């Protein structure tokens, strides 16, 4: 049977021509084998050759290549050079398409082992160098069996050249060769970095050991070759590959000299996008390198925004003083004012400590105005006028109670004091910054809303004046002034707070806030004292003012109540945010240690967490600078130490998206602290570091002392709520991390302890602040109906945060439904009202998102305010729902108008046409892709949502800012000609 099948296969008639060709080919291959090349791979390759039919040209090429290879074996050395030259030309000119392997490489592959052996026999010479260069290209075909062959021969070839004639640029062999080299350079560098003595010994047994070990050249040679490759890659639109290669060889800072004016922007964009994905310290080195490139190419706004991200005082000063153009300087001043950079940083460090005089001498009037944000209020009101939202909104406009589906007689049993208090906040948030609300500012003399509240409600009501007149220091103080003379203690306290809120983010020449509030810091009355302290904290957030340090620091260390000490710490945290100020740090740590030793229960109070937050804020965004503080905290033998460690770590890495830190925080969340025994094990674990410092007897007695009181069990889980917030704080900087964290939050919500579940909604709110995406709204809506009312309460507040200042209609509808659902729960209803106020904040013109300048720079004072507010919500029952509802005003430091205003050279408003659409990430894409999608065309000023971006519709004006956001100065483009309209 098999015979007949074989028969049947060979019978069909086929084209006779093809038969002849086949014969030809067989002869060719048999000739090849006869030619005395008795080598192993040849048989295999001859078979490969038979599988496909070669055209005559290919055959000719194949024979020519083999003849050249033969020449290299002959004794006549004079033939070597021309043969090698011809081989080189054939290989270089052959590549017709990138889809197939170049023919010469395909045909020379079987000869490669022979040629390798032949190479070893040659004496060192220029010819041998050229031979090595060709072998380096052929080695690409053997990269799987002989790793790093391409690189090896490339380095050998370079080492054989005389000094005066260096090797040709690797780019001459084409793109694929450079990509190969780049990959092998990375491997080789990594291999050498770990190349301990044991590694080569372990690998000596393997066949490819010679290829592994015999790579000539120093690390410097590798780096020089990498730079050659990088130049080629940058020139051929492969900037990401070039950056990655230099990063692998740890010389990314040298890319500054490799880019030119055509390529630098793409390189910088890619490097800046990488920052969130790099481990420290690479992320900082990338930012510094991109900064140097921008400075070299005179891109000052871009450079300054990176200097602000780095928080480097000298870079900020140099970048600000670099441009000579006064308009550019003003634009940079607007950027610094938005980031709330202390004006003192911009002065060259001098012998003279007298601050005030110098600043006025140093900068002209117009620059001082831009730097101190004094124009903000005017810009904001003009913006409101343009949008047509100047008229004040009443509470009913916000609540729209006629749309709530409540039962008719349900409103009878609402606690009216609670309702009025909610009205205070809603009115303040909704009419913030416009300074014309009906309840407080415009109210008749005896008819102010303040009198509809009692006791501590009055304090919040008076303080709401500050929010209503936000940023308007001149008009605002005259309104607040009358309350400072009130006999009612709470009213007076509220007025102090209002003064602080009013001047948040605005620096005035007269230093009003300090002058008016400073004297009350030492007052005997606790409400006056605390509101003065926090007023200063909000007014000077991020200003690093030494004079305030002397004023407030005694209130941490002196023997004062925990409430005062914690709020003083928090205020200093606001003022010195991200400064790692040694004096404050040591005072706080000293106080915590003393209180822990005294065991008077001071640290067990609800206030202790604010002390920890104040400490954490000093290290905001400083990454590893916080290590020593964390080590010191570990030695403190008290549950607060763990909470403080978590807060310090989360602040230090806020917005970096550091994956390892997020994992650490999630580990803290999976400790289940329920049973007493588990509790004890936990304490033992925590005391190990302390025991190392103390004697065993001391730690044992401490242990004994700890087991007696019962409330310890409850206290010890506070750290978990901060661990949840920490996940959000660290991952909020970049979109991928934020998305991943939300998935983790859902898991925590399913399996976590009550203390964790309570914090999850707050964390979700923090990750997506002022950015209402549907999936997030849906999950918060689900949590707002949770059985555990504390979860529901926080979820409602988080809904307010997520929609802050967006006027989101869907969210407003959800909140109205919740108002109907919780009509019998005064606490939840109070929170629903607050959330409604937040959603309509500034009538939809003010947002809370701490990231600005295309979401690339994190505003440190804004994070401070948000974190302090969320800290109050980790125990809402004892803070926000008790007497301390004024803590919601901490949000002020994060409130900022979401506008784009274009102004001319005289800083007067200049309406131009802009397109506003969803921002699109175009890093690494070829050509000039659109940076926004689904845009609409508007006249400025316009409102920008968190994820939106604007670009000018025509090229009639040149913007000074690199991102169209906030206040942008425009200059007429001299080369622009108006397009002629076609006459009909």
Lowest mean pLDDT among 192-201, 743-752, 874-883: 192-201
- Residues linked to residue 857 through DSSP beta bridges, in sequence order: 852
Position 198 confidence tier, pLDDT thresholds 50, 70, 90:
very low
Which is more confident, 612 or 91? 612
pTM above 0.95, yes or no: no
pLDDT at 159 over 70: yes
Position 860 confidence tier, pLDDT thresholds 50, 70, 90:
very high
pLDDT of residue 4: 46
Lowest mean pLDDT among 362-371, 555-564, 681-690: 681-690
pLDDT at 810 over 50: yes
CB atoms closer than 10 angstroms to residue 385:
12
Provide the edge-to-edge strand list for the sheet that holds 957-959.
942-943, 899-903, 966-972, 957-959
pLDDT of residue 705: 33
Lowest mean pLDDT among 192-201, 205-214, 515-524, 827-836: 205-214
Position 414 confidence tier, pLDDT thresholds 50, 70, 90:
low
pLDDT at 306 over 90: yes
Provide the edge-to-edge strand list for the sheet that holds 913-919.
932-939, 913-919, 948-952
CA distance 887 to 930: 43
- Residues linked to residue 665 through DSSP beta bridges, in sequence order: none
Q: What is the pLDDT of residues 34-47, one digit of tens each?
A: 343 444 444 444 44
Q: What is the pLDDT of residues 531-551, one digit of tens each?
A: 999 999 999 999 898 888 989
pLDDT at 982 over 70: no
Query: How many angstroms from the chain centroid is the CA of residue 499?
Result: 33
Q: What is the pLDDT of residues 645-676, one digit of tens each?
A: 999 999 999 988 888 999 999 999 887 766 44
pLDDT of residue 350: 63
pLDDT of residue 824: 86
pLDDT of residue 767: 94
Q: Provide the percentage of residues in the chain whose pLDDT is more than 70.
A: 84
Mean local confidence (pLDDT), 163-179: 82
pLDDT of residue 699: 32
CA distance 929 to 931: 6
CA distance 33 to 250: 49
Check the CA dihedral 833-503-496-893 and report its sign.
positive
Element (H, E) at 903: strand 899-903
Position 97 confidence tier, pLDDT thresholds 50, 70, 90:
low
pLDDT of residue 25: 44
Alpha-helix runs per DSSP H in 618-734: 627-634, 639-652, 659-669, 676-693, 696-707, 712-715, 718-731
Q: Which two tokens stand for residue 181?
A: 């080299």
Alpha-helix runs per DSSP H in 322-375: 326-339, 355-362, 365-371
Lowest mean pLDDT among 296-305, 353-362, 921-930: 353-362
Position 938 confidence tier, pLDDT thresholds 50, 70, 90:
very high
CA distances from 178 to 101, 165, 233, 530 (A): 15, 21, 8, 66
pLDDT at 578 over 60: yes
Which is more confident, 778 or 368? 778
Mean local confidence (pLDDT), 259-288: 90
Position 813 confidence tier, pLDDT thresholds 50, 70, 90:
very high
Query: How many angstroms from the chain centroid is the CA of residue 622?
Result: 13
For 33-80, the DSSP string reads: HHTT---HHHHHHHHHHHHSPPPHHHHHHHHHHHHHHHHTTSS-GGGH
pLDDT of residue 27: 43
Position 70 confidence tier, pLDDT thresholds 50, 70, 90:
confident
Q: What is the pLDDT of residues 883-920, one digit of tens each?
A: 899 999 999 999 999 999 999 999 899 999 999 999 99
Which is more confident, 184 or 401? 184
CA distance 893 to 895: 6
Q: What is the pLDDT of residues 456-487, one digit of tens each?
A: 888 999 999 999 989 988 888 888 888 888 88
pLDDT at 202 over 50: no
CB 242 within 8 A of CB 233: yes
Lowest mean pLDDT among 103-117, 690-704, 835-849, 964-978: 690-704
CB 139 within 8 A of CB 115: no
CA distance 860 to 747: 30
Lowest mean pLDDT among 246-250, 385-389, 403-407, 616-620: 403-407
Task: Choose among 671, 649, 670: nearest CA to 660.
Answer: 649
Q: Which two tokens stand for residue 732?
A: 């909020």
- Residues linked to residue 900 through DSSP beta bridges, in sequence order: 942, 966
Mean local confidence (pLDDT), 419-429: 91
pLDDT at 208 over 50: no
Averaged pLDDT of the chain: 83
pLDDT of residue 411: 52
Position 15 confidence tier, pLDDT thresholds 50, 70, 90:
low
pLDDT at 702 over 50: no
The owner of tokens 């002959």 is 74
CA distances from 478 to 438, 783, 883 (A): 17, 44, 27
CB 866 within 8 A of CB 574: no
pLDDT of residue 498: 92
Position 922 confidence tier, pLDDT thresholds 50, 70, 90:
confident
The owner of tokens 């197939």 is 100
Position 847 confidence tier, pLDDT thresholds 50, 70, 90:
very high
Element (H, E) at 849: none
């Amino acid at each position: 049977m098999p015979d007949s099948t074989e028969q049947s296969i060979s019978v069909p008639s086929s084209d006779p021509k093809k038969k002849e060709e086949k014969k030809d080919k067989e002869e060719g291959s048999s000739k090849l084998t006869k030619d005395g090349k008795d080598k192993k791979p040849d048989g295999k390759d001859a078979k490969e050759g038979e599988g496909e039919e070669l055209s005559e040209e290919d055959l000719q090429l194949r024979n020519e290549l083999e003849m050249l290879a033969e020449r290299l074996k002959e004794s006549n050395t004079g033939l070597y050079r021309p043969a090698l030259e011809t081989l080189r030309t054939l290989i270089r000119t052959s590549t017709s398409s990138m889809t197939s392997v170049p023919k010469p490489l395909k045909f020379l592959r079987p000869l490669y082992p022979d040629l390798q052996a032949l190479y070893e026999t040659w004496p060192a010479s220029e010819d041998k160098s050229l031979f090595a260069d060709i072998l380096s290209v052929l080695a690409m075909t053997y990269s799987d069996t002989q790793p790093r062959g391409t690189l090896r021969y490339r380095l050998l070839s370079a080492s054989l050249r005389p000094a005066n004639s260096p090797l040709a640029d690797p780019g001459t062999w084409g793109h694929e060769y450079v990509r190969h080299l780049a990959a092998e350079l990375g491997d080789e560098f990594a291999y050498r970095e770990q190349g301990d003595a044991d590694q080569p010994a372990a690998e000596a047994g393997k066949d490819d050991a010679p290829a592994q070990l015999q790579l000539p050249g120093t690390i410097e040679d590798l780096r020089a070759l990498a730079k050659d490759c990088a130049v080629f890659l940058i020139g051929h639109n492969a900037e990401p590959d070039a950056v990655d290669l230099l990063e692998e060889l740890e010389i990314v800072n040298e890319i500054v000299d490799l880019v030119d004016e055509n390529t630098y922007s793409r390189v910088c964009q890619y490097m800046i996008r990488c920052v969130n994905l790099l481990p420290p310290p690479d992320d900082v080195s990338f930012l510094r390198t991109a900064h140097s490139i921008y400075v070299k190419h005179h891109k000052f706004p871009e450079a300054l925004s990176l200097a602000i991200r780095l928080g480097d005082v000298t870079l900020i000063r140099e970048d600000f003083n670099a441009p000579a153009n006064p308009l550019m300087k003003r634009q940079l001043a607007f950027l610094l004012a938005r980031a709330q950079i202390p004006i003192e940083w911009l002065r060259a460090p001098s012998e003279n400590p007298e601050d005030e005089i110098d600043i006025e001498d140093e900068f002209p009037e117009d620059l001082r105005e831009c730097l101190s944000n004094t124009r903000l209020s005017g810009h904001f009101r003009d913006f409101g006028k343009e949008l047509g939202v100047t008229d004040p909104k009443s509470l009913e406009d916000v609540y729209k109670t006629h749309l709530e589906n409540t039962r008719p007689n349900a409103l009878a049993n609402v606690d009216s004091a609670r309702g009025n208090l909610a009205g205070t906040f809603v009115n303040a948030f909704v009419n913030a910054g416009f300074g014309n609300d009906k309840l407080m500012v415009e109210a008749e003399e005896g008819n102010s809303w303040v009198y509809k509240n009692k006791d501590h409600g009055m304090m919040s009501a008076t303080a709401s004046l500050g929010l209503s007149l936000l940023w308007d220091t001149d008009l605002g103080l005259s309104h607040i002034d009358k309350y400072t003379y009130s006999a009612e203690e709470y009213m007076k306290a509220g007025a102090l707070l209002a003064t602080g809120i009013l001047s948040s983010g605005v620096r005035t020449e007269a230093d009003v806030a300090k002058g008016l509030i400073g004297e009350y810091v030492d007052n005997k009355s606790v409400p006056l004292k605390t509101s003065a302290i926090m007023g200063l904290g909000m007014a000077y957030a991020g200003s690093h003012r030494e004079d305030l340090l002397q004023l407030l620091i005694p209130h941490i260390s002196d023997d004062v109540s925990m409430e005062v000490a914690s709020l003083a710490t928090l205020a200093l945290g606001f003022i010195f945010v991200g400064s790692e100020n040694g004096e404050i740090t040591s005072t706080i740590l000293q106080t915590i240690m003393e209180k822990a030793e005294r065991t008077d229960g001071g640290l067990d109070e609800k206030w202790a967490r604010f002390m920890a937050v104040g400490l954490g804020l000093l290290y905001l965004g400083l990454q590893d600078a916080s290590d020593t503080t964390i080590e010191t905290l570990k030695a403190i033998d008290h549950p607060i130490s763990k909470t403080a460690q978590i807060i310090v770590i989360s602040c230090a890495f806020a917005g970096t998206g550091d994956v390892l830190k997020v994992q650490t925080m999630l580990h803290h969340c999976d400790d289940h602290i329920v049973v007493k025994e588990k509790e004890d094990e936990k304490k033992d674990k925590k005391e190990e570091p302390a025991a190392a410092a103390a004697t065993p007897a001391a730690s044992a007695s401490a242990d004994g002392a700890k087991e007696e009181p019962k409330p310890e069990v409850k206290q010890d889980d506070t750290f978990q709520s901060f661990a949840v917030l920490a996940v959000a704080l660290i991952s909020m900087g970049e979109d991928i991390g934020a998305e991943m964290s939300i998935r983790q939050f859902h898991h925590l919500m399913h399996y976590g302890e009550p203390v964790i579940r309570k914090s999850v909604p707050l964390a979700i709110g923090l990750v997506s602040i002022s950015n209402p995406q549907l999936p997030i709204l849906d999950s918060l809506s689900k949590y707002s109906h949770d059985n555990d009312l504390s979860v529901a309460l926080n979820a409602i507040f988080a809904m307010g945060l997520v929609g802050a200042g967006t006027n989101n209609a869907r969210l407003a509808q959800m909140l109205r439904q919740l108002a109907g659902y919780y009509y019998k729960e005064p606490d939840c209803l109070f929170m629903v009202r607050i959330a409604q106020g937040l959603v309509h904040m500034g009538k939809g013109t003010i947002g809370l998102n701490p990231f600005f300048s295309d979401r690339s720079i994190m505003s440190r004072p804004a994070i401070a305010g948000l974190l302090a507010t969320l800290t109050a919500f980790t125990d809402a029952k004892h803070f926000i729902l008790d007497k301390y509802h004024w803590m919601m005003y901490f949000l002020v430091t994060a409130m900022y108008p979401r506008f784009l205003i274009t102004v001319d050279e005289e800083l007067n408003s200049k309406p131009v046409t802009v397109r506003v659409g969803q921002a699109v990430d175009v890093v690494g894409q070829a050509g000039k892709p659109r940076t926004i999608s689904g845009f609409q065309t508007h006249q400025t000023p316009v409102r920008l949502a968190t994820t939106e971006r604007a670009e000018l519709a025509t090229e009639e004006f040149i913007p000074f800012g690199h991102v169209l956001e906030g206040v942008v100065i425009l200059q007429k483009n001299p080369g622009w000609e108006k397009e002629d309209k076609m006459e009909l």
